[in-house]
Chains A and B, each alone.
Chain A
């Protein structure tokens, strides 16, 4: 068999694996791979401006298309710059394969130029990683890397390839898929557990479906089956930040997001439920609030593909280790076979309506300032009116929570946000990645004035590839969430949370060849947003919003679901040290 170089083997593997887009940045230790990609007929390479941008683009691409995102960076600083995005993908279970160049094998360990211990650094922030020391192993490793990244609980896999391995040759044959000796994720649920779950659900008087990102990772079928189960049982549905869109916000059964900035009805329903069916969520601390007061009277069923997520923070009555779609499929089949009907949940829904009547997402408007919540609500209206397929990404902070609260998501894979790691700088590159994977969609990054600056250099990338992404900055001249916490817990001592020396975002847009729009008054909002959507090509919008708005409702640190703050008047000036010590 004719031999190929490691670089050619890698590229051939990518083709065999159906990779269409690679987000990357060249450098000394990946020059052979870049040469193999030169004028490649099927693989499109997106040249980023910073390697962190590449990782978030890959995440955005993956989350919006369901296909793994691929990153290619050089050794040393290329790899270390990718670490934040790799960690982000691990926390949010995003399938991603990161190929890093490495110094040649004979120089490893000598502190060579641009050497970093990439497998050491990424060992605990990746699902798995490899250092490939011979081209003969490369094909097998790359195929296995994609398999591991995309199956079970998805996550990032790093493949570190020394430069001499890229140049040395070996025969290439597409490896056959074999059963891995130790990696065999459980996707099919135990039949007895499904039986118990169905009976518990049928007998429940106050059930609630608590759903998360696992539903979306399970594919479109996961969302479809969730909707079917909700219809069959008549149970209310709430979701984590990561799960938004799996269940339609327009449904009567939708309670909104739960947790720290969740709705009053979602959190009270969780607290008062007698049965919680957790589907692909992980009882994160943002969701549970104070653990000893979390859902005290509920029996809990937990469906998760990752056994280590079960009983990690909250003890459950019935663990089900399985892929969401597979488990829901089994549950629905058994529910129908048993002839179960939706229970009479009238009393339960009456209580929920009582909580809904609190209207916890309402906000006051003075007519002078644009309320950030209004900006999101109007964006939602404008997007819906455009008739386009809409993908929303966010950065991290107040704007992210307002987007989660006030934008209605109807379908999965349309909401891209950094949940677990909470990475400022995620949203804009994620929008670029999503736009690459969905060229005809309207992709809007909702950002804050501080977080947009964390990866703002990627404006050049959008310009270069003519990607018509829109950035909507809710500009309040603060790191708003930091400022809000300082107001709540540190008697309004705003230590370093003011965004001084902000750039003129409109001029910045123009400098990069974008259109720039500034919206300053409430009466400009609707037209400004419409202009953003209607303007072809990339647009940056500097929307000046009320400076000191807080994100409510809010469960403060160390409080339970029933201790929600609904408005600023309830803020206590000083917190106990115990509460301050919580994140």
Chain B
């Protein structure tokens, strides 16, 4: 007997939640308990009184599973609202990465040239290394990191995705 898996699709979910102890564990635990995927998860409080946090989750699954993920998230008592940005209309998503690259001579020049193409900033430098700061979509960062790997990638730190709907309305 073999276990079969269904085709998945990537979704960016934006949640507003009460900023209380254990909320992140509640959400992360829901994903593990029910066997859902988390590709990335970001959280930070977003109101002046620190009462509400926004959590952005990139998940993947067949449409029915994603619908169930949203319903299960909405069921949690401290969750105010869940928006599937992927379904709700045009939206902007960004991720920030810090990329450390080491090299000398031509590699160094090539790294700077590519960073310029990707509009990455140099935020730290030594004679033999750079740390680049780059923002953009997950795909853009993947591409940049992929190129740097060929030059001399040392390590990467990524924030995970945040996203907002386009236009003047709040989600």
Contact = CB atoms under 8 A, between A and B. Distances in A.
B33 A124 contact: yes
6 contacts: A120-B25, A127-B77, A182-B79, A310-B71, A311-B64, A581-B1
A183 B33 contact: no
A291 to B, nearest CB: 12
A308 B76 CA distance: 11
A521 interface: no
A123 interface: yes
Nearest to B22: A119
B80 A182 contact: yes
Contacts of A127: 77
Interface in B56-98: 64, 67-68, 71-72, 74-75, 77-80
Given A124-B30, A308-B71, A182 B25 contact: no
Contacts of B79: 182
A307 B77 contact: no
Given A123-B25, A124-B33, A183 B68 contact: no
Contacts of A307: 71, 74-75
A16 interface: no
Contacts of B10: none
Per DSSP, are chain A's interface residues mostly helix, strand or loop, or mixed?
loop
A577 B1 contact: yes
A311 B29 CA distance: 22
Interface in A297-343: 306-308, 310-312, 315
Given A577-B1, A581-B1, A182 B18 contact: yes
Given A120-B25, A307-B74, A181 B64 contact: no
Size class of the contact patch on chain A: 20 to 34
A272 B147 CA distance: 60
A310 B17 CA distance: 23
B50 interface: no
8 closest pairs, A vs B, by CB? A308-B71, A577-B1, A182-B80, A128-B77, A183-B77, A124-B33, A307-B71, A308-B72
Interface of A: 119-120, 123-124, 127-128, 131, 148, 180-183, 306-308, 310-312, 315, 577-578, 581
Nearest to B17: A182
A311 B77 contact: no
Interface residues of B, number: 21
B170 interface: no
Contacts of A581: 1
B21 interface: yes
A148 B76 CA distance: 11
Given A123-B26, A124-B29, A128-B77, A308 B68 contact: yes
Contacts of A183: 77
Given A123-B25, A127-B77, A182-B77, A312 B1 contact: no
Contacts of A124: 29-30, 33
Contacts of B75: 306-308
A315 B67 CA distance: 12
A274 to B, nearest CB: 24
Contacts of B68: 308, 311-312
Nearest to A183: B77
Given A123-B26, A124-B33, A131 B21 contact: yes
Nearest to A148: B77
A308 B26 contact: no
A579 B22 CA distance: 39
Contacts of A315: 64
B80 A181 contact: yes
Nearest to A180: B77
Contacts of A180: 77
Given A128-B77, A581-B1, A311 B67 contact: yes
Contacts of B78: 182
B142 to A, nearest CB: 33
A306 B79 CA distance: 15
A95 to B, nearest CB: 15
Interface in B90-109: none
Interface string B21-35: 110011001100100
